[in-house]
Amino acid sequence: MTGERDSGTWLRLMLVAFVANGIGPFGLKVLTELGLAGAYQAQYLLYWYLGGFVFAAAALWRSGLRPRGSEVLLGGLMGACSLLGQSFTGLALSSGMPGHVVFPITTGGSLFLVATAGLVLFKEKVGPYGIAGMVLGIAALVGLSLG
């Protein structure tokens, strides 16, 4: 019974993450197009990340699990890196860089860093499906930036 509940919770949270994945950067584009990025980008990102933190804390509290200190530290570090990345994405957009250039670079940069870290730091073996996924991801980014 516990395993079924845990897998159902995991699936719901992964679906939330999947659906919410592009909403943050989309909001940065909206702010830029409305000419509001200079005045409201910091507040937007503060509330976006605060909302994510509150949602995650509530889900964790409800699950009854308690994170270890190293997990909190790693999560905080990942959140800080994400916040910096979103801040620089917003700055690039508000300085006049077109979205069809900014978004593929930020997404491609993340893809490249994660793939490189997996191969170099963690010595991961990449099989045919992994290679196909990376090639398709790169092809999708190129296609989006050309379109």
- Domain shared by 20 and 75, yes or no: yes
Are 11 and 49 within 8 A, CB to CB?
no
- Domain shared by 73 and 24, yes or no: yes
Say yes or no to pLDDT of 2 above 60: no
- Domain shared by 12 and 70, yes or no: yes
Tell me the pLDDT tens digit for each residue of 66-89.
889 998 899 899 899 889 999 999
* Residue finishing a domain among 97, 116, 131: 97
- Domain shared by 22 and 32, yes or no: yes
State which residues form the domain around 103. Answer: 98-147
Residues of the chain above pLDDT 90, percent: 31
DSSP 8-class letter at 95: T
Q: pTM for the full model?
A: 0.72
Are 89 and 106 within 8 A, CB to CB?
yes
- Domain shared by 36 and 75, yes or no: yes
- Domain shared by 93 and 22, yes or no: yes
